[in-house]
Structure 1
Amino acid sequence: MQKINSIEEFDKLVDSGETFFMLKHSTTCPISATGYDEFAKFEQKSNGQLYYLTVQDSRDLSNHIAEKFHVKHESPQAILFVNSDVAWHASHFKITAKSLSAAKEENLK
Structure 2
Amino acid sequence: MNWNELNTLTQLEKIREESKENPVVIFKHSTRCSTSRMVLDRLERNWKPEELGHVKAYFLDLISYREVSNQIAEQFEIEHESPQVLIISQGKAVYDRSHMGIDYNQLKDELKN
TM range (shorter): 0.7 to 0.9
Unaligned runs of 5+ residues in structure 1 are none
Q: Secondary structure at the match of 1:11?
A: helix
1:44 alignment counterpart? 48
Change (3 A) 1:43 1:50: farther
Shift, 1:12, TM fit: 1.4
Write the deviation string for residues 13-60 of structure 1: whole angstroms up to 9, x where unpaired: 212324110000001101101221233134334212111100111100
- Give the 4+ runs in structure 1 shifted more than 6 A: none
User: Structure 2: where are the runs of 5+ without partners?
Assistant: none
TM superposition score normalised by structure 1: 0.88
Q: Give the letter for the 1:2 counterpart.
A: N
Measure, in 2, the Cα distance between the counterparts of 1:100 and 1:50. Answer: 12
Q: Equivalences for 1:1-109 in 2 at 5 Å?
A: 1-16=3-18, 17=20, 18-45=22-49, 46-47=52-53, 48-105=55-112, 108=113
Q: How many Å separate the matches in 2 of 1:86 and 1:42? A: 23
Question: TM-score with structure 2 length normalisation?
Answer: 0.85
Taking only the aligned residue pairs, the percentage that are identical comes to 25
Alignment partners' CA distance in 2, 1:37 and 1:83 = 28
User: Which range moved further: 92-101 or 32-41?
Assistant: 32-41
